Amino acid sequence: MAQIKKANGIGDWFDQRLATKKLAKVMMTEYWIPKDINFLWAMGVVLVVMFKLLIISGIFLLMYYKPDAKLAFDSVNFTIMQEVEYGWLWRHIHAVAASFAFLVIYIHMFTAIYYGSYKNGREMIWISGMILFILFSTTAFTGYVLPWGQMSFWAAQVITNLFGGIPVVGDAVVTWIRGDFAVSDSTLTRFFMLHVFLLPLMIVFVIVIHFYSLRIPHVNNQEGADIDFDAEADKYLAGNKKESKVVPFWPVFLAKDFYVVCVTLVIFFFCVFFFYDFSLPGVNFEPANPMVTPKYIYPEWYFLWSYEVLRGFFFDIGPIKAMDIGLIAFAFANVIFVILPFLDRDPRVLPAHKRPRFKIWFWVLMFTMVILTIYGKLPPKGINNVIGFIASMTFITLFLIMPYITKKDAKGAK
């Protein structure tokens, strides 16, 4: 692209301004998106909006929250919820936005899996996205502890205990994370720092990497067909918009994103005002009491599937204890998604409906995740234990056989 020369007079100045506008127009339309993609591709922008809502509402909550084990519960449930004008609204927005953020993350993640948006140059997009998932999960967990209710306290107790399974240094790691030998005021202040400062800062940094990595490969489409983006962009710029298979990111595709965001916000604020209790468990409205263990301890809905994998193995296998088996399965479940691009042995970027074996694999995975989520909240006894174990084993087996399944699909296409 020709450089813009320094203006020597009014005529040159006018020519320079015109060239600058043309340059800006080219820059705005230089990133092209396949025309045939649907609303599922807007989930990234929706997630950014949810993250902004979490930050804004979190700032208002910070004005009155006390990160002290003796004051935290009252500062949330009395000061914020009852004394501060519209304090209840900001807490509802924060809690519901957290649940919506994870709903959007799961939709975004499984859309990418269905359409194969994690390979052929897109590995960095997927890995950075999974790092975001881990950071959001850690942020959600540390935030869940801050109200210092019964479920907050005991969830912290259970989750921090998991690190005790690390060979040799496990007990030291648990003490280091808690800042004490038991969950206490030190734990609360550490989690407060992580939740309001360090983790959000890391999330912003990884979001930048995630969005920038989208510029390396083009976005894949619903059919998986290769598109000559340069040729199709020339058609669009020449006026053949109907024949062109692509549209510019700005303003055409982003306008679709804005529409999806607006619809999402309507549903979001309906939940904030009329259905907020799904994100605020009743047990957590009781003050934390180290001497009284809740009958059933369970995390928020978006962690239930991995929690069920953790407790799905309720029996010992030889010298290996059930708890250790559960910890291994839990670690497997939380790491396996990161390396998904390297498990898929089919080099083609195709949606699941064009890969017969992978299509079955995908829908079995979806069904298994739903079962794990449902039974993660049910009491771990009787038939619930059996179903949880079967679902956990199915989940693990699906990823172990994925290389074989995808390789067979690739051979069948030849």
SS3 per-residue string spanning the chain: CCCCCCCCCHHHHHHHHHHHHHHHHHHHCCCEEECCCCHHHHHHHHHHHHHHHHHHHHHHHHCCCCCCCCCHHHHHHHHHHHHCCCHHHHHHHHHHHHHHHHHHHHHHHHHHHHHCCCCCCCHHHHHHHHHHHHHHHHHHHHHHHCCCEHHHHHHHHHHHHHHHHCCCCHHHHHHHHHCCCCCCHHHHHHHHHHHHHHHHHHHHHHHHHHHHHCCCCCCCCCCCCCCCHHHHHHHHHHCCCCCCCEEEHHHHHHHHHHHHHHHHHHHHHHHHHHCHHHHCCHHHHCECCCCCCCCCCCCCHHHHHHHHHHHCCCCCECCECHHHHHHHHHHHHHHCCCCHHHHCCCCCCCCHHHCHHHHHHHHHHHHHHHHHHHHCCCCCCCHHHHHHHHHHHHHHHHHHHHHHHHHHHHHHCC
pLDDT, residue 139, reads: 96
Return the number of other C-beta atoms located less than 10 Å from residue 303's C-beta.
20
Report residue 381's pLDDT band, with 50, 70 and 90 as the boundaries.
confident
pLDDT, residue 228, reads: 76
pLDDT, residue 9, reads: 54
pLDDT (tens digit, 9 = 90+) per residue, 87-146?
999 999 999 999 999 999 999 999 999 999 898 888 999 999 999 999 999 999 999 999
Given a cut of 80, whether residue 7 has pLDDT beyond it is: no
pLDDT, residue 53, reads: 97
Report residue 25's pLDDT band, with 50, 70 and 90 as the boundaries.
very low
Report residue 16's pLDDT band, with 50, 70 and 90 as the boundaries.
low
pTM given for the model: 0.88
Report the percent of the chain where pLDDT is more than 70: 92
Distance, CA of 90 to chain centre: 22
pLDDT (tens digit, 9 = 90+) per residue, 211-261?
888 877 777 777 777 777 778 788 888 877 887 888 887 788 888 889 999
pLDDT, residue 23, reads: 42
> Highest mean pLDDT: which of 53-67, 108-122, 375-389?
53-67
- Please give the domain boundaries of the chain with CATH numbers for all domains: 36-297 (1.20.810.10), 306-414 (no CATH)
Given a cut of 60, whether residue 354 has pLDDT beyond it is: yes
Report residue 358's pLDDT band, with 50, 70 and 90 as the boundaries.
very high
Write b or e for each residue in 217-228: b if 16 or more Cβ atoms lie within 10 A of its Cβ, otherwise e: bbbbbeebeebe
Contact 379, 123 (CB under 8 A): no
